[in-house]
Amino acid sequence: MTPKGIQRHVFSTYTRLRIGMIVIAFLFPILLVIGGSWKGIEWQDSMSAYYHAMSSDGSQPMRALFVGALCAIGAFLFLYRGFSKMESWCLNLAGGFSIGVAFFPMAWPVGSGSAFSAHYVCAVLMFICMTIVTWFCTRQTLSLVTNLPHKRWFKTGYRVAGVSMGALPIVVWGYTQLFPELAQHGHQTFLVEAFCIWSFGGYWLIKSLELKESLAEILALNRLLTTEPLREATAKEIVRDILNRRFPDRIQTVLVRAGTRPAAPADTKA
């Protein structure tokens, strides 16, 4: 395989990881309801309840989907490398907590367990990690978007997704603790959880659109981005430094200002 072929392979791998997380996130709540109904299970009060929900024959058919989807999301998050150490660590932790949500099911029957069970703690920490990514790790590639309206749209989308993922799990936890009877006889908890999962999918959808416009991944694969601190340098100085390879040789983040795209250096004759 040629170097260009390897770059295309890496680029498509990251793109498919994001698409996988988007598809799973958006279909997860829907498939729980539809699959459960098909198996004779009523619409549960929460997504986590599908782990224990029994069909008419005494089986628990939705447990495999519940565990499998969360483990798949966890694996995708762990495999996905961020544009900085902080982003990578947060994604790794979020992936581990996602698997923890699956491996430490909610107490059954509802209300019989601790308010600070491993299941709820893992769920909250997973989305807190993702909130940190949306608030503190998106500027590194967002700075390459030259279209200002698009840039504002991406930034607003990141903020909405971050607030949703950070606040809604806490809202669910508080609602189930303050109003346990209402939480057990309605679909409010399920809908809030579903919206939280969809916010997670929405983040990766926005991220995919932003990376497509900013070309950050392509530039990183060609080692044309940098994490080195720059003072008040002009765009021309930044381009010259990048072309001269003054920055460390590694996958790097974005500091190119004003949307400048470095062009290949012109051939010179001896």
Both tokens of 190, joined, read: 């399920």
93 Cβ contact list (under 8 Å, min separation 6): 125, 126, 129
Residues of the chain below pLDDT 50: 227-239, 242-243, 245-270
Q: Burial of 140 by CB count in 10 Å (0-12 exposed, 13-18 middle, 19+ buried)?
A: buried
Compute the residue count for the chain: 270
Phi (first) and psi of residue 138, to 5 degrees: -100, -20
User: How far apart are alpha carbons 157 and 206 in whole angstroms?
Assistant: 7
Both tokens of 156, joined, read: 């607003």
Phi (first) and psi of residue 57, to 5 degrees: -90, 5
Helix axes 63-79, 3-38, angle to 10 degrees: 160
Sketch the domain layout of the chain as residue ranges: 3-221, 225-270
Residue 175: other Cβ atoms inside 10 A: 15
Cβ 190 vs Cβ 46: under 8 Å? yes
Q: What is the pLDDT of residues 12-43, one digit of tens each?
A: 788 888 999 999 999 999 999 999 999 889 88
Cβ 203 vs Cβ 134: under 8 Å? yes
Residue 238: other Cβ atoms inside 10 A: 18
Q: Look at residue 1 in the predicted model and tell me its pLDDT.
A: 64
Q: List the alpha helices (DSSP H) in the chain.
A: 3-38, 63-79, 85-103, 118-136, 139-142, 148-178, 180-184, 188-214, 216-221, 235-243
32 Cβ contact list (under 8 Å, min separation 6): 44, 47, 50, 62, 65, 66
DSSP state of 53: -
Q: Look at residue 6 in the predicted model and tell me its pLDDT.
A: 65
Q: Look at residue 11 in the predicted model and tell me its pLDDT.
A: 73
